[in-house]
Amino acid sequence: MSEELNPFKIAQEELDAAAETMGLDKTAHAILREPKRILTVNIPVKMQDGTTKVFNGFRVLYNDARGPGKGGIRYHPLENVDTVKALSAWMTWKTSLANIPFGGAKGGVICDPKTLNDFELENLSRGYIRALGRAIGPKVDIPAPDVYTNPQIMAWMMDEYSELVGYDEPGVITGKPLEIGGSEGRFDSTAMGGMYVLREAAKTINLDLKNSKIIIQGFGNAGMFAFEIATRLSGGKVIGVSDSEGGIYDPDGIDYNKLLEAKKRTGKVQGYEKGQKVTNEQLLELDADVLIPAAIENQITAANADRIKTKIVLELANGPVTPDADKILFEKGILDMPDFLVNSGGVIVSYFEWVQDIGGYYWTQEDVYKRLDTIITRSFNDVIGMQKQYAANGKKISPRTAAYIVAVDRVARAMKFRGWY
């Protein structure tokens, strides 16, 4: 039997496993297996040459028992509703685990933004917001940037929503430029939060991060910041890095600035002059202390999990480890920290941005990092605490299962208090 790789089926499988372990009420389980609302929209966009092209998009609100929906908007040629549904589910658990007053949502448009100029991107972005209408809002559902979207796109979207409602509403969108209500610390917040989790994870297994060897799969926004922050904060040495074109490995350590220059010059990390070239698959299986998957989903599966050699897997990407692989890593004694804990820094600082927009009072970068550290460290301790609670009763569970139990229980309790079941 082949391993399930459909992202929404994986999200449901992970929920089902946690529900069985925790004895979740059957009605609550049934509610939480499916999104609350799925919107499919057609967006007519005037192109630069005067023609009009119609794009298809989605917005999924998974659950809002704990607060308005929260989740990014993705522009991708292979976008599909199952991926958006899965990401909205994981966002539900992510906001719950962080114990911030949001539910989970996600959006996407089927397009190749690399083929669109700024005129067409702006028309598409504004058209998407018009199509969603009042289905979003600072008290309803709050989008943010994700794959191939950025602060400029969020600025156009916020402006379009403000035009629709007739007043300035910066709280409708997060991940905006600082000049129109963005937050300090937002753009490296995912990686920064992940590094706080790594710090705490290292403590639990007595790993000296100062002398650690780190591998990072993915050199996009999250991976790039993770490289810089990990070496600066932990003193560890990054010995392997990859992007979609392949990777490089140097046991003596990779120079961040030289790698960045090579990436800009050649368009790929293999433009780095030192070290040896490796494939993405080989990179994952290198001998190191910490592996940070920061690329795409389904990178560590049942097919390769037994060959992972690191002490810690830090899931900075969404869904990089499949459920079957998670079981294998746990049995091997590898501390696999789940994605919806590790990469929750982005949504936590998005929450800070929303709070600042509503209050009209803005924090310093130091304030943001300190508050992020407090919340994500608390989340880490909640996960480890749940693991210990089950262990005391003679049942060993993985960090992922423990994180699910914490998050799902909070959402289920909110639904119960609201009278949804």
Q: Which residues are catalytic?
A: 106
Q: What is the DSSP letter of 2?
A: P
CA-wise closest residue to 59 among 44, 76, 77, 74: 74
CB 336 within 8 A of CB 161: no
Rounded Cα gap, residues 134 and 250, in angstroms = 52
β strands within 77-217, DSSP E: 104-110, 141-145, 213-217
Angle at 93 between CA 88 and CA 94, to 5 degrees: 90
Q: Is 71 left (phi over 0), alpha (psi -120 to 50) or beta?
A: left
Single-letter amino acid, residue 5: L
Rounded Cα gap, residues 270 and 180, in angstroms = 38
Rounded Cα gap, residues 136 and 9, in angstroms = 26
CB 342 within 8 A of CB 197: yes
Residue 69: CA count within 13 A, CB half-sphere: 28
CA-wise closest residue to 197 among 287, 269, 290, 117: 290
Single-letter amino acid, residue 35: P
Residue 262: which residues within 8 A CB-CB, separation 6 or more?
Answer: 269, 271, 272, 273
Furthest-apart CA pair in the chain: how many Å? 68
Rounded Cα gap, residues 75 and 73, in angstroms = 7
CB 367 within 8 A of CB 355: no
